[in-house]
Amino acid sequence: MSGIRDSLGRVGYDLLSRALAECGREAATGELRVSGKPGGLFHLRGGLVVAVESPGAPGPEVLLLRSGRISAEQWAGLLGEARGARWPEAAMIAHGYAGAAQLRVICMMAMQDAAFAVVAGRVDGCAALGPSVPRAPVEVGESPGRLLQGAVRKLTAVAALPGPVRPDRERPVLAPGVDPDSDQLPLAQRELLSHIDGRRTARDLAFLVGRGVYTVTVELARMLGEGLLECAEGAAGEERGAAPVVIPVRARETGVRRRVTRPGGAAQGGAAQGGATHGGAAAPADKAVSPSPAPDAPDAPEIPEPPSASQLPRRDPGASGITETLAPEKNGASWKGFFRLRHRIWTPDSGT
């Protein structure tokens, strides 16, 4: 599971980041298609993202239907009353199935969850299309940069968990001895454990139970860390690809490097190759070229011993003339002394 901690695909992330930043600067209104796995659609209005749709995350209608807030029959009736509208918000509020604030929260959660699914997957390219027709847009859009940063923070939080997984890659199984119906487990974990069979990813479970893919991914990562689930290392490694090869770094040598002479006569790293002479002709085999002696290392400079206390120069007091400058003033009569003496004299009116 250590391979999940790798960084985002830098090329794909840069493509998505630049495309969204350009749409924000130009206050674009339209649709931005992100190709890849799972990919998705970013719907913009005035440079702000109002909806994100991706096959890697459940939309608002899935969150409503799978969670049991609205039944399939009720949803079909709402679509009939809305006359073809893809998101019958007014009809749901009129029938009391959900409040306006609740629907706004669901649409915002679905948009952020789809952005997380796009960032957690593979991004191959981005292309701006024509006018957008979002299924369930939010009233107040979100900045593209802020939306992208939030998705990256979520992916970083998942990678920091003890058992990190990706939404569409790992397919965990129950650990031996784990009872999915145990009363000691939280209700959310029991619901997920009852659907885990080794063939479903976090994305599949999110569509099945009607919860956000980020929430399900975090729950699976926690259960993997607690030992409730297991994930085959081989299968996960095949999906992610080979692990990066660690290249050892050779430590840099310190100190003076001396020339080492070989018994054959040529010095290691020397300029003579194959016994060639200065004129370019080969030297005879019986006359070996004697290596030049290595230069001796320079002697270290001698450090003189510090002088003793008796050899230090002594200071002559008053030689600098500072004593004359700091000499105390001579005492003399002044008006200041007169006023001090006046206050000390006793008079009948003073009361002292």
pLDDT digits (tens, 9 = 90+) for 124-145: 989 987 887 888 899 889 999 9
pTM of the model: 0.64
| SS3 (DSSP) at 183 | coil
pLDDT at 7 over 50: no
Q: Give CA 295 to chain center in angstroms.
A: 54
Phi, psi at 83, each rounded to 5°: 60, 55
DSSP-H helix ranges across the chain:
10-25, 60-66, 72-81, 89-95, 100-120, 144-159, 187-193, 202-209, 213-226, 233-240, 322-325, 335-344
Task: Give the integer Cα–Cα distance in Å for 128 and 64.
Answer: 30
Place of tokens 């003890």: 162
HSE of 108 in the Cβ direction (CA atoms, 13 Å)? 13
Planar angle of CA 233, 118, 207, nearest 5 degrees:
75
| pLDDT tens per residue across span 64-114 | 988 888 888 998 888 888 877 788 888 899 888 888 999 999 999 999 999
Q: Is residue 263 helix, strand or coil?
A: coil
Q: What is the DSSP string of 18-51?
A: HHHHHHHHTT--EEEEEEEES-EEEEEETTEEEE
Looking at residue 47, its amino acid is: G
Scan for tokens 């809305």, then name that residue. 82
Instruction: Give me the half-sphere count of Cα atoms (radius 13 Å) on the Cβ side of residue 226.
Output: 11
Digit-coded pLDDT (tens) for 27-50: 999 999 999 999 999 999 999 999
**Cβ neighbours of residue 15 under 8 Å, at least 6 residues apart?**
123, 125, 126
